[in-house]
């Protein structure tokens, strides 16, 4: 049997399986119930958050025979039945009522003319033909203009769904003729749940923290998360961990800069210990980590300090429990003011590093300078009080 990648195998087949985009799916389902379906839609948002998936489910629902013939089912369930002939055609990829058009590679005026020609013909079976135009922002202005007329007077059977990661690049003339849906980044918790569900279905044992690591790396994209999971599964099998996926294994595979490395930095600052800081810098350089990446993680790390300092809890810190405890413990090592100073400095450094040649050397210097920032700021503002632990408020871990 051929191996199917997870992202395809687990593509949701109905609205209710699409995670974290209820604001979109609910509105579409309502319009189906009321029989008020528009002709133009824009689905915008990051890659891998469900735009194509939602467009396909929508197309399937529009042509589902059960939805068309059974008003009670339409009102109560409002999902493609998955069993009628049309739904089966969709599921097997043979339906003629859906066309996917990749604007990144077909973006000439001629391509659009061919599409327009195609749009004129109604469906042989079913009610609607749905055209999904992916990466629509890649169309040239001339191509957009060629399309405008079709969008102004669409044939009754034609529905256009424009998907884009860059909403601002779509001309207002097109955007104003469409209903717009903004797909959200998928929250870490939802990604983690979905990955867990997939692992269960695949009979793969996995540590919850390992999935969280994958989810964090994916930064809100479900497809990225699933691709990483594919990679991790292959890696774990190869390394004969009996297929089980561990936090450490994932960390190794992703060459992940660990939270420990981040705490090493803040520890070195708190201890005012340049030797320790140089060790950290060397560690990053020796292991071939990306310096920019490291600085970005460091900013996120400091952000977690600020969150804990301001909330008095780690409710908004997406980390395993042991790490959360550590944030609670260390939050008192600096004042929020100092943390902000460090953040400002790091953001500036990130920008500057982009134009530097002596990259590694500058990186090392920047880390060393963090110690000074705290030192100078603390002697200028409230001598000594800053580096030493603040009086601790009672903090809770959730
Ligand atoms: N909101 C979501 N809920 C569940 N799975 C999703 C979601 N978004 C993406 N996926 C998974 O990622 C894959 C790619 O999603 P897709 O809809 O093609 O993303 P895009 O937004 O780039 O069009 C899907 O096959 C599915 O497995
Ligand atoms: Mg897509
Ligand atoms: Zn059906």
Top pLDDT among 315 and 238 is at 315
CATH 3.40.50.300 maps onto the chain at: 6-182
Is 42's pLDDT higher than 90?
yes
Top pLDDT among 15 and 120 is at 15
Map tokens 């020796």 to a residue: 286
pLDDT at 393: 54
Percent of the chain with pLDDT over 90: 64
Indicate whether residue 56 lines ligand 1 (CB < 6 A): no
Is the Cβ–Cβ distance between 254 and 228 less than 8 Å? Answer: yes
Q: How confident is the model at residue 397 (pLDDT cuts 50, 70, 90)?
A: low
The pLDDT tens digits for 144-154 are 888 898 999 99
Which residues make beta-bridge pairs with 163?
43
Contacts of 184 (CB under 8 A, 6+ apart): 20, 21, 23, 45, 49, 220
Is 315's pLDDT higher than 80?
yes
Mutation pick for ligand 1 pocket among 5, 8, 14, 53 (CB with most ligand atoms within 8 Å): 53
> Lowest mean pLDDT: which of 23-27, 226-230, 287-291, 386-390?
386-390
Is 188's pLDDT higher than 60?
yes
Top pLDDT among 86 and 236 is at 86
Measured CA to CA, the distance from residue 276 to residue 269 in angstroms comes to 9
With vertex at residue 29, the alpha carbon angle to CA 125 and CA 27, rounded to the nearest 5 degrees, is 130
> Lowest mean pLDDT: which of 49-53, 128-132, 392-396?
392-396
Query: Tokens standing for 242?
Result: 């009996």
CATH 1.20.272.10 maps onto the chain at: 259-380
3-class state of residue 118 by DSSP: helix
Indicate whether residue 40 lines ligand 1 (CB < 6 A): no
The per-residue DSSP string of 54-68 comes to HHHHHHHHHH-HHHH
3-class state of residue 180 by DSSP: strand
Indicate whether residue 48 lines ligand 1 (CB < 6 A): yes
Is 85's pLDDT higher than 90?
yes
Mutation pick for ligand 1 pocket among 5, 6, 9, 11 (CB with most ligand atoms within 8 Å): 11
Q: How confident is the model at residue 1 (pLDDT cuts 50, 70, 90)?
A: very low
Q: Alpha carbon of 177 to those of 26, 151, 163, 352: distances in Å?
A: 21, 7, 14, 42
Mutation pick for ligand 1 pocket among 58, 223, 225, 226 (CB with most ligand atoms within 8 Å): 223
Locate all alpha helices (DSSP H) within the chain, ordered by sequence. Answer: 6-9, 22-34, 51-63, 65-69, 71-76, 85-91, 109-119, 141-152, 172-175, 188-201, 208-218, 222-238, 247-253, 259-270, 274-286, 291-311, 321-330, 336-353, 359-380
Q: How confident is the model at residue 109 (pLDDT cuts 50, 70, 90)?
A: confident
Q: How confident is the model at residue 383 (pLDDT cuts 50, 70, 90)?
A: very low
Whose C-alpha lies nearest to ligand 1, atom 7? 50
pLDDT at 300: 94
3-class state of residue 323 by DSSP: helix
Nearest-atom index, ligand 1, CA of 223? 12
Q: Alpha carbon of 32 to those of 18, 63, 146, 240, 367: distances in Å?
A: 17, 11, 29, 50, 56
pLDDT at 236: 79
The per-residue DSSP string of 280-311 comes to HHHHHHHTT--HHHHHHHHHHHHHHHHHHHHH
- What are residue 295's phi and psi, to 5 degrees? -65, -35
Question: What is the pLDDT averaged over residues 180-206?
Answer: 95
Count of residues in the chain: 398
Whose C-alpha lies nearest to ligand 1, atom 25? 11
pLDDT at 287: 77
The pLDDT tens digits for 49-74 are 999 999 999 999 999 999 999 999 99
CATH 1.10.8.60 maps onto the chain at: 188-253
Q: Which CATH number is associated with domain 259-380?
A: 1.20.272.10
Please determine, looking at this structure, whether the domain spanning 188-253 carries the CATH number 1.10.8.60.
yes
Total-model pTM: 0.78
Q: How confident is the model at residue 95 (pLDDT cuts 50, 70, 90)?
A: very high
Strand 98-102 and strand 40-44: the pairing is: unpaired
> Lowest mean pLDDT: which of 95-99, 159-163, 358-362, 378-382?
378-382
Question: What is the pLDDT averaged over residues 228-235?
Answer: 89
Residue 1 neighbours by CB distance under 10 Å = 3
Q: Which CATH architecture has domain 6-182?
A: 3-Layer(aba) Sandwich (3.40)
For all residues of the chain together, what is the average pLDDT? 89
3-class state of residue 128 by DSSP: coil
Indicate whether residue 25 lines ligand 1 (CB < 6 A): no
């Amino acid at each position: 049997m051929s191996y199917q990648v997870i992202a395809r195998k687990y593509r949701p087949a109905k609205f209710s399986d699409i995670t974290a985009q209820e604001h979109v799916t609910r509105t579409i389902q309502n319009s189906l119930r009321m029989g008020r379906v528009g002709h133009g839609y824009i689905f915008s948002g990051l890659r891998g958050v469900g735009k194509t998936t939602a467009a396909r489910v929508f197309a399937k629902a529009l042509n589902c025979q059960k939805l068309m013939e059974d008003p009670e089912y339409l009102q109560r369930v409002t999902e493609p039945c998955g069993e009628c002939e049309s739904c089966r055609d969709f599921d097997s990829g043979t339906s003629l009522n859906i066309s996917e058009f990749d604007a990144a590679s077909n973006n000439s005026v001629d391509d659009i003319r061919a599409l327009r020609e195609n749009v004129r013909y109604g469906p042989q079976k079913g009610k609607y033909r749905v055209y999904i135009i992916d990466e629509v922002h890649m169309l040239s202005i001339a191509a957009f203009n060629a399309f405008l007329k079709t969008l102004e007077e669409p044939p009754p059977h034609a529905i256009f769904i424009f998907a884009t990661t860059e909403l601002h690049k779509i001309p207002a003339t097109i955007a104003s003729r469409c209903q717009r849906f903004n797909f959200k980044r998928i929250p870490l918790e939802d990604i983690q749940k979905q990955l867990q569900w997939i692992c269960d279905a695949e009979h793969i044992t996995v540590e919850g923290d390992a999935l969280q690591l994958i989810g964090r790396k994916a930064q809100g994209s479900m497809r990225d998360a699933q691709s990483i999971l594919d990679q991790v599964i292959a890696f774990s099998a190869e390394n004969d961990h009996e297929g089980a996926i561990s936090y450490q294994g994932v960390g190794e595979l992703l060459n992940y800069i660990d939270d420990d490395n981040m705490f090493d930095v803040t520890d070195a600052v708190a201890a005012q210990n340049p030797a320790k800081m140089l060790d950290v810098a060397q560690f990053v350089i020796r292991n071939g980590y990306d310096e920019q990446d490291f600085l970005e993680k460091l900013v996120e790390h400091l952000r977690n300090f600020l969150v804990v300092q301001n909330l008095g809890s780690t409710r908004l810190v997406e980390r395993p429990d042991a790490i959360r405890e550590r944030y609670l413990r260390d939050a008192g090592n600096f004042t929020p003011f100092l943390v902000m100073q460090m953040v400002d400095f790091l953001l500036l450094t990130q920008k500057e590093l982009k134009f530097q040649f002596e990259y590694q050397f500058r990186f090392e210097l920047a880390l060393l300078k963090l110690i000074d920032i705290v030192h100078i700021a603390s002697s200028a503002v409230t001598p000594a009080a800053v580096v030493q632990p603040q009086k601790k408020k009672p903090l809770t871990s959730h």
